[in-house]
Structure 1
Amino acid sequence: MHVPDGFINAPVSAVAGVVAAGAVAVSLKGARRELDERTAPLAGLVAAFIFAVQMLNFPVAAGTSGHLLGGALAAILVGPFTGVLCISVVLLMQGVLFADGGLTALGVNITVMGVVTTVVAYALFRGLVKVLPRGRRSVTVASFVAALVSVPAAAAVFTLVYAVGGTTDVPTGTVFTAMVGVHTLIGLGEAAITAATVGAVIAVRPDLVHGARGLTAPLKLRVGGELVDAAPAAAPVTVGRSPRKVWITGLVASLILAGFVSFYASASPDGLEKVAADKGIDKNVEDHAAKDSPLADYGVKDVTDARLSGGLAGVIGVGVTVVVGTGVFWVVRKRRTPTEAAEAPVAETV
């Protein structure tokens, strides 16, 4: 759903840029409450993983593909404020290095793909985990539903932006029906990827999943024919356990996905591209300012072998994203004193 230059007029793009800048500023402040020395590198990894998975377009209908947006995944794994920053870093890298998503439309893309997906997904996720039975399975189910809803929600907001600042005269109702329809199908893929990833991390290190914190299920004992809560047992000590293995595993997986698996991704246009071509909202699309980038269109310039070119571009993209993302989150993180670290509560598991 990367909006190119020319879809939205300059005034509305500028307003969207202001909205996006404000959201990033708020998120930078809020992320200090979500990040510390352990989780800052993991947030950088989440950004790199989302970059890698976004290269894996999957077919959703005849001649149409979709890809992960990632807002729900980032918000659940590392928190909503950090999630907005993760998607913003990914979109910035894609726009500047790979000519994917217009530079004048960067504010639109951050607002639609970053802010809307993260806010909608995390609000729905928190609501679901409050009413579902406490446990790992409920976190995974809530992740699936939240991710599913976040994608058509982003499509609906794009339609609203188009209604205000679109550069073509295609009826808004036509755009809304087409966008929400195809992105509901894409949302199913988003939901499956999000639930599978969250479930995999919970299975090995539930203490590292932001959305799963504090969701312990009390042990039940039968006393006199009735079930009562047992006295809470001491939680397993996870504070102090290094997340290094998770980080290395995630990075290797990201490199494999971007460097190898991406070659087998669907070549069909994604949901927005397909709707734009079918309905005619791409009549005024402009050439990307970074079209001559050495990595434009996810290929390395002057490397003639398509498989090698795309693989190298993917590996470079993962590397740059993890470095930039980790750097940003390391600067933003809350710095704990030795006393605070020693007194930190033991992480709860689900």
Structure 2
Amino acid sequence: MHVPDGFINAPVSVAAGVVAAGAVAVSLRGARRELDERTAPLAGLVAAFIFAVQMLNFPVAAGTSGHLLGGALAAILVGPYTGVLCVSVVLLMQGILFADGGLTALGVNITVMAVVTSVVAYATFRGLVKVLPKKRRSVTVSAFVAAAISVPAAALAFTLVYAIGGTTDVPIGRVLTAMVGVHVLIGLGEAAITAFTVGAVIAVRPDLVHGAQGLTRKLQLRVGGELVDVAPAAAPQPEPASSHRTRNVWLTGLAASLVLAGVVSFYASASPDGLEKVAADKGIDAKVEEHAAADSPFADYGVEGISDGRLSGGLAGVIGVGVTVVAGTGVFWAVRRRRTDEDPSAAATPTASV
């Protein structure tokens, strides 16, 4: 759903940029409360994983494909504020290096693909986990539903932006029907990817899943025929084994991201994604402009000078994962360090489990 240059007029693009900048500023402050010494590097990995999976377009209808947006996945794994930043980092890397998503439309893309998806998904997720049984399966089910809803919500948000600042005269009802319709299908793919990934992380390290925090039942003992809450013990200091397992999760996730972007992406669907298909069918791409980074050596997810398509695309994917994980981890460590500088007591954060 990367919006290119020329779809939205300049005034609305500027306004969306202001909204996106405000959302990023709020998220930078909010992320300080979400990140600790374990989750800061995980957040950088989440950004890289989203980059990799976004290269894997999957077919959803005749001549149409979809890909992960990632807001739901990021928000559930590392928190809604950090989630907005994760997707924003991905969009920035894609726009600058790979000419994917217009630079003048960066504000629109961050607002639609990062802010709307993260907010809608996390609000839905939290509502569901509060009413469902406090079990790991409930977290996975809630993640599935939240992700499925977030994608058509993003399509609806784009349609609203287009209704205000679209550069072509197309009946908005047609755009709305087509966008929401195809993105409901894409949402099912997003939901499956999100639920599988969240479930996989919960299975090995539930304490690393932000959305699973606070879902443990209080320990109770039966005394005199009545259940009595057991006072919580002091938070234990992190053990070397825990640190080792966190590193293993990070390395496993990075390896998976590299394989997905470097190898599996070659087999992704070549059909246009939901927005591209709707734009072509409804004529909203009549004034699309050439990307400002069209001459990038990595434009269109290939490496300039390498004629072999498999090698070119795979190498571009590996470079993208590497750049994204470095940029993302740098941002999140800086946010974490800022919090520690302001509040030294935040240096040690107790773990949570489900």
- Length-normalised TM-score, structure 2: 0.93
Q: CA deviation at 1:38?
A: 1.7
Contact 2:220 / 2:230 at 8 angstroms: preserved in 1?
no
Q: CA deviation at 1:348?
A: 2.5
Change (3 A) 1:18 1:204: same
1:107 aligns with 2:110: no
Out of 291, 316, 320, the position equivalent to 1:288 is: 291
How many equivalent residue pairs? 347
Out of 330, 340, 346, the position equivalent to 1:335 is: 340
Aligned residue for 2:174, secondary structure, equals helix
Contact 2:27 / 2:85 at 8 angstroms: preserved in 1?
yes
CA distance in 1, matches of 2:155, 2:304: 33
CA distance in 2, matches of 1:235, 1:147: 35
Q: Which residue of 2 aligns with 1:349?
A: 353
Aligned residue for 2:183, secondary structure, equals helix
CA distance in 2, matches of 1:99, 1:72: 24
Q: Which residue of 2 aligns with 1:56?
A: 56
Contact 1:135 / 1:217 at 8 angstroms: preserved in 2?
no
Q: Which amino acid aligns with 2:105?
A: A
Q: CA deviation at 1:237?
A: 5.8
Gaps of 5+ in 1: none
Change (3 A) 1:218 1:64: same
How many percent identity over aligned positions? 80
Q: Which residue of 1 aligns with 2:255?
A: 252
Q: Which amino acid aligns with 1:348?
A: A
Change (3 A) 1:230 1:36: closer
Q: Which amino acid aligns with 1:194?
A: T
Q: CA deviation at 1:335?
A: 1.7
Contact 1:207 / 1:238 at 8 angstroms: preserved in 2?
no
Aligned residue for 2:60, secondary structure, equals strand
Once the two structures are superposed, the pairs formed by residues 185-264 of structure 1 within 5 Å of their partners are 185-218=185-218, 231=230, 239-240=238-239, 241-242=242-243, 243-264=246-267
Deviates more, 1:332-341 or 1:172-181: 332-341
- Length-normalised TM-score, structure 1: 0.94
Contact 1:57 / 1:67 at 8 angstroms: preserved in 2?
yes
Q: Which residue of 1 aligns with 2:269?
A: 266
Q: Which residue of 2 aligns with 1:36?
A: 36
Q: CA deviation at 1:217?
A: 3.1
CA RMSD of aligned residues (A): 2.1
Q: CA deviation at 1:37?
A: 2.0
Q: Which amino acid aligns with 2:34?
A: E
Aligned residue for 2:160, secondary structure, equals helix
Contact 1:4 / 1:100 at 8 angstroms: preserved in 2?
yes
Contact 2:221 / 2:230 at 8 angstroms: preserved in 1?
no
Contact 1:88 / 1:114 at 8 angstroms: preserved in 2?
yes
Contact 2:340 / 2:347 at 8 angstroms: preserved in 1?
no
CA distance in 2, matches of 1:339, 1:281: 53
Q: Which amino acid aligns with 1:163?
A: A
Deviates more, 1:32-41 or 1:14-23: 32-41
CA distance in 2, matches of 1:24, 1:321: 17
Q: Which amino acid aligns with 2:308?
A: D
Aligned residue for 1:104, secondary structure, equals coil
Change (3 A) 1:340 1:107: closer
Q: Which residue of 1 aligns with 2:311?
A: 308
Contact 2:31 / 2:82 at 8 angstroms: preserved in 1?
yes
Change (3 A) 1:234 1:141: farther
CA distance in 1, matches of 2:158, 2:228: 48
Change (3 A) 1:238 1:56: farther
